[in-house]
A and B are shown apart, each in its own frame.
Chain A
Amino acid sequence: MTTAAPIIDLNLMIPEIFLFLWACLVFTYDLVTKRKSGNAVAWLALAGPVLTGILTVVMFSAGFYGYGKAAGAMFEVDPMAVFFKIIFLGAAFFAIGSSFGLLKNRIVNHRGEFFGLILLSTVGMLFLAASREMISLYVGLELTTIPLFVLAAFFKDDRLSVEAGIKYLIIGALSSALLLYGMSFLYGLGGTTDIWQWKLEVARIAGKGEGVGVILTLSVITILAGLGFKLALPPFHQWAPDVYQGAPTPVAAFLSVGSKAAGLVAFAKLMIGGMVAFWDPVMIPNDWGILTAILAASAMIVGNVVAVRQSNIKRMMAYSSIAQAGYIMVGMVALNDFCLSSVAFYMFAYMFANMGAFAVIALIEDATGSCEISTYAGLSRTSPALAVTMTVFLLSLTGIPPLAGFMAKYYVFAAAIQSAGASPTFGFLYWLVGVGLVTSVVALYYYANIIKQMYFHDRPSTSPITFDAPMVMVLAVALCGVVVFGLFPEPVLQFARQIPPPYELFQH
């Protein structure tokens, strides 16, 4: 195989480079001010994702460096990359915006590090979104997760936080190892790390009748396990509740959206981008679609059922996010024209609702020091606006129309039903949709439990909650997102529809 010197078109990477430099700026600013940066460092960090987002959108819509490839095959900006970049930047924006409350007493030192690491993790996600090749994908994934290990353990004096950090580190290392192991098999089969080249190569080998089955099966299983850990799909989910509970709340929020979306992107690139050509029982004996469907079903069942029993809201949200990942995977295994766009739209809607709900949780935690669900009793009496906002987020997560969460669920289930009706191979999707719908009734029970606490109890357990400006901004943006994209999802859907269907991914 001849390899020409790769053309590295750095212009395409301007948003990533910009955000990286901005993260360095945040680190330095904290040092220059002799660690007395106050809230200024947080505002500075908040500007990072906003400016990068503007840069991405402007670069994209102004027509220069919209889509294209750079660094050979390593880096490609396509509609999917742009869409997910917006999600990652949004998640970072919400996470930083809801961290201001921590600055009062929890994060007194190392403020630069806290915000800088969030930004660095986001840089990793941005690279991941644009990678189309196994090594850059892996590097992006690691760059995403390593800062998160530190962030999870950021409360050094809090045993739960340290436990969260250690757990996340060990699980993260294990899952990366599994993923890498699987990818090494893939490399061994195809002799290249470029996913599209690899697919062609393996299709050629398989076409010649040479067996690729066993080794491919092995790699599929290890990769699914590795990504299963990253996405917290049962039975690989046990770390999630402990980590969410122990980590600082904005970090848990960032984990539940940013890191989840990163895992989804990796899944889409590797499995849908790489393996979809082998949707053929002859070539690939264990149907990875069915394996994934089982993971999705167990996520929806375990996540929703176990969430009912939680008394700590962060643990409840951890299980709820496990379940939400299950819904997203329903769209993922549909493998039709709508599959990736439904996943992207779901993630987009989920970002607003989940980051919003976590922002409220962070606010309550800052004010009361507690994450128990009983803390929310009578919130509608003391802080009616906050209670309404939280209710809207929870209803969106449940999937009650006309909120964005409903549109997302509808789109995902529509994708699955279309696929199930189109071909008998996908008949199992009917069952998957059935599981999804029935468990979403269970989900109503625990989301409504929070609403019940806030509204049905007359004796408030909290005094009125005060807001700071960034929190107002975060809640307002999230609320607008949930409502506006519920009523008028069309522009976002249009954009999500540009994501090429699986069989065209990596083709152009």
Chain B
Amino acid sequence: MGPLSSLVYFPLIGMVIVMCLPKEAKVAIRWTSVGASIIPLVVSFALTIDYFFGHAATGLMAYVEGPYDWIPSLNVQYYLGADGISIPLLALTGLLSTLSLLASFNIENRVKEYFAFFLLLEAGMMGVFVALDFFLFYIFWEVMLVPMYFLIGVWGGPRKEYAAIKFFLYTLFGSIFMLVAILILYFTSTPHTLNMMTLIQSGSRLPYMLQMICFIFFFIAFAIKVPVWPFHTWLPDAHVEAPTAVSVILAGVLLKMGTYGMLRVSWPMFPAALKDMAFWIALLGAIGIIYGALVSMAQKDLKKLVAYSSVSHMGYCMLALGAFSSAQAITGCMFQMVSHGLITGALFLLVGVLYERAHTREIAAFGGLGSKLPVYSSIMFFFAMASLGLPGLSGFVSEVMIFLGSFGAVNQVLVGISVLGVVLGAAYILRMVQRVFLGDFDLAKWGKLTEINTLELVTVTPLMVLTLWIGVYPKPLVDLMSATLNKLITLMQR
């Protein structure tokens, strides 16, 4: 079993073990799951380091497994590989999975099922980032939906049933378009193949109409996942109803699958269609930035605020993807994916910490928490600043790269409007900070609130360290990705 397979199978093995444990053995179940996710975490970080020193200069696919025949009748192969755009996301997935599992220790209801589903989810996420065969990619893409449906639907908030089915239906609706596009690509390739690497070469030779159809079909599938405005309406529901750890995964990893899919599949595969659609993609991105930020400002619920800020932040990614001809913008896009995963993941964790104690997330209910919970408040303040793009933290780096890069590559008015998103971002973040952490503290109401505990600190500290590191010294991450991104950009500009 190669290292990439182990990323997928260790969580699956963990799931099987968890399912075999008696359901009363909650402690054993929790630690088994954490153990099963620490292995992929270690492997993914080891791969990151190894890739950085061994392969980053060339940016080629590394750790390739296969292609082995799996279903020869349908030309389906087992084919895995990772390069500069999947490696950082694998590390992010490994990290956030383990942290989310740690953050799930407070789940007391149906513990066994929860952790089993969570590990299945992790296997699916890892699989998406390493699959190089379309069939395999699609399987992992879909496999994830099932545990997600259960995690939201069983352990979610008051409107969990609605949120769960909405998420499931929306994403499945997107994936069927992807399935058609995959089939069209399969039958137009000679010899018929589902190998992504081969199809990236041959996809560009398709007739323009067919390229456009496939591009749009893939775009619908990926855009729903990102989510790009106007496909975003599942996201606030899912985020608000999902339990904390699931929100972390949803924001930290699942949304990145959409942008990863665009970078990996549809952007390099259909350059002619991309060229004509670039403006519209950037436009959707700009709308998302402004819309997400404006809606965030109006939120009364902390979690909903963070959820809509995701729409805004993923809008930056879309703007950069519209400016695909600029290496800087695309690098910024990858940066934004990683940094949004870290920051928003942490924000959801922190909102969860507060909700756990106060049983409400209403912004208006709080005030002056800074005086009662200094540690918690300063951590929250740290991530709030990262989210609004304070220089020195990772959010700033990615925003600068995206704006600088896209200014020369897409309509400049669009970029100008998008920059307003930063101001709006500052507005909703600062307003939230002011109302929750500053001002008068209601001793009668919140006198019993306790400070963030050790386990919770353990879950957010790694995210703080990485956010600061990327913000202060982004060069290693740039070096990790740049060669691969340059190759992809060459493909996009054919």
A→B interface (CB under 8 Å): 380, 384, 395, 400-402, 406-407, 410-411, 413-414, 417-418, 421, 433-434, 437-438, 440-441, 444-445, 448, 451-452, 455-456, 488-490, 493-494, 497
Q: Is the CB of A441 within 8 A of B176?
A: yes
A401 touches B153 (CB 8 A): no
Question: B280 on the interface (CB 8 Å rule)?
Answer: no
Kindly state whether residue B139 has any CB partner on chain A within 8 Å.
yes
With an 8 Å Cβ cutoff, the count of chain B residues facing the other chain is 34
Bound form: Cα–Cα A384–B111 in Å: 13
A-B pairs, top 4 by smallest CB distance, nearest first, are A437-B176, A493-B73, A401-B139, A417-B183
**What is the bound-complex CA distance between A417 and B161, given in angstroms?**
35
Known: A418-B187, A455-B154, A456-B161. A410 touches B179 (CB 8 A): yes
Does residue B10 face the partner (Cβ distance < 8 Å to A)?
no
**B74 to chain A: which residues have CB within 8 Å?**
410-411, 414, 493
- For this complex, 6 residue pairs linking A to B, each with C-beta atoms less than 8 Å apart, are A400-B142, A414-B187, A438-B176, A445-B165, A456-B161, A494-B73
For B146, the chain A residues whose CB sits under 8 A away are 395, 400
User: In the bound complex, what is the Cα–Cα distance between A444 and B180 (angstroms)?
Assistant: 18
Q: Is B138 an interface residue (CB 8 A)?
A: yes
Q: Is B176 a contact partner of A448 (Cβ separation < 8 A)?
A: no
- A-B interface pairs (CB < 8 A), number: 82
A421 near B143 with CB under 8 A, answer: no
Contact B183 A401 (CB under 8 A): no
Decide yes or no: A440 and B153 within 8 Å by CB, A400-B145, A490-B73 being known contacts.
no
Known: A437-B179, A444-B172, A489-B71. A402 touches B154 (CB 8 A): no
Q: A488 to chain B: which residues have CB within 8 Å? A: 71
A490-B172 contact in complex given A417-B180, A456-B160, C-beta closer than 8 Å: no
Q: Is A490 in contact with B72, judged by CB distance below 8 angstroms?
A: yes
Closest chain A residue to B153, Cβ basis: A456
- B residues less than 8 Å from A445 (CB atoms): 165, 169
Q: Per a CB cutoff under 8 Å, which of B142, B173, B184 touches A421?
A: B184
Interface assignment of B186: CB less than 8 Å from any CB of chain A: yes
Closest residue of A by beta carbon distance from B138: A401
Q: Which residues of A have CB within 8 Å of B172? A: 440-441, 444
Provide the bound-state CA to CA distance between A489 and B73, in Å: 9
Q: CB of B204 within 8 A of chain A? A: no
Q: Is B150 an interface residue (CB 8 A)?
A: yes
- Cβ-based interface call for B188 (8 A): yes
Q: How far is the CB of A389 from chain B (nearest CB, A)?
A: 13
Q: Which residue of chain A lies nearest to B213 when distances are taken between CB atoms in the complex? A: A430
- Closest approach, in angstroms, between the C-beta of B243 and any C-beta of chain A? 14
Minimum Cβ distance to chain A for residue B11 (Å): 15
Q: How far is the CA of A343 from the CA of B188 in the complex (A)?
A: 23
Residues of B near A413 (CB, < 8 A) are 179-180, 183
CB of A455 within 8 A of CB of B150, answer yes
What sequence of 0s and 1s flags, for each residue 457-475 of chain B, a beta carbon within 8 Å of any chain A beta carbon?
0000000000000000000
B149 an interface residue at 8 Å Cβ cutoff? Answer: yes
B169 touches A490 (CB 8 A): no
List A contacts of B177 (CB < 8 A). Answer: 437
Report the Cα distance A402→B138, complex, angstroms. Answer: 10
Residue interface mask B109-147, A partner, CB < 8 A = 1:
000010000000000000000000001001100110110
Closest to B156 in A: A456
- Which residues of chain A come closer than 8 Å to B31, judged between CB atoms? none
Report chain A residues within 8 Å CB of B180.
Answer: 413, 417, 433-434, 437
A-contacting residues, B52-78, CB 8 Å: 70-74
Per the bound structure, the CA–CA distance linking A497 and B165 in Å amounts to 37
Q: How far is the CB of A326 from chain B (nearest CB, A)?
A: 15
Residues of B within 8 A of A438 (CB): 173, 176
- 16 A-B pairs besides A414-B74, A455-B150 with CB distance below 8 A are A384-B113, A401-B138, A401-B142, A402-B139, A402-B143, A411-B74, A413-B183, A414-B186, A414-B187, A433-B180, A437-B177, A441-B176, A452-B153, A452-B165, A493-B71, A494-B73
Q: What chain A residues lie within 8 Å of B71 (beta carbons)?
A: 407, 488-490, 493
List B residues 431-456 near A (Cβ within 8 Å).
none
B168 at the interface (CB under 8 A from A): yes
In the complex, what distance in Å separates the CA atom of A122 from the CA atom of B412?
Answer: 72
Contact among B150, B153, B168, B187 with A417 in the assembled complex (CB-CB below 8 Å): B187
B138: chain A residues at CB < 8 Å are: 401
The residues of A that contact B72 with a CB separation of less than 8 Å are: 490
A17→B37 CA distance, assembly (Å): 57
Residue of B nearest to A414 (CB): B183
Q: Which residue of B lies closest to A449 (CB)?
A: B165
Bound-complex Cα distance A411 to B71 (A):
12
Distance between Cα atoms of A407 and B154 in the complex (Å) = 28
Question: Least Cβ distance of B278 to chain A in Å?
Answer: 27
Taken together as a complex, chains A and B put the C-alpha atoms of A438 and B70 apart, in Å, by 28
Closest chain B residue, CB of each to CB of A440: B176
A460 to chain B, nearest CB (A): 13
Are B153 and A455 in contact, with the CB atoms below 8 A? yes
A440 to B176, CA, bound (A): 9
User: When chains A and B are docked, how far (Å) is the Cα of A194 from the Cα of B193?
Assistant: 41
The interface residues of chain A lying within 8 Å CB-to-CB of B183 are: 413-414, 417
Q: Which of A400, A414, A441 contacts B169 (CB 8 A)?
A: A441
Q: Mark B69-106, 1 if CB is under 8 A from A, else 0.
A: 01111100000000000000000000000000000000
Q: What separation, in Å, do the CA atoms of A490 and B186 have in the docked complex?
A: 18
Contacts of A401 in B (CB 8 A): 138-139, 142-143
* A418, closest chain B residue (CB): B187
User: Nearest CB to that of B184 among chain A residues?
Assistant: A417
B149 CB → nearest A CB, Å: 7
A449 CB to nearest chain B CB (Å): 8
Closest approach, in angstroms, between the C-beta of A418 and any C-beta of chain B? 5
What 1/0 flags go to B341-374 for Cβ under 8 Å of A? 0000000000000000000000000000000000
Tell me which residues across on chain A come within 8 A of B169, comparing CB atoms. Answer: 441, 444-445
Q: Which residue of B lies closest to A421 (CB)?
A: B187
Query: Which B-chain residue is minimally distant from A422 (CB atoms)?
Result: B187
Q: Which residues of B contact A456 (CB under 8 A)?
A: 153-154, 160-161, 164
Min Cβ gap A352→B in Å is: 18
Is the pair A497, B187 in contact by a Cβ cutoff of 8 Å? no
Interface centre among A401, A410, A452 (most CB of B within 10 A): A401
CA distance A490 to B74 in the complex (A): 9
Chain B minimum-CB-distance residue to A456:
B153
CA distance A434 to B168 in the complex (A): 19
Closest to A413 in B: B183
Q: Complex: how many Å from CA A410 to CA B113?
A: 30
With a cutoff of 8 Å between Cβ atoms, the chain A residues found around residue B135 in the complex are 410
Q: Please give the distance in Å from A324's CB to the nearest CB on chain B.
A: 17
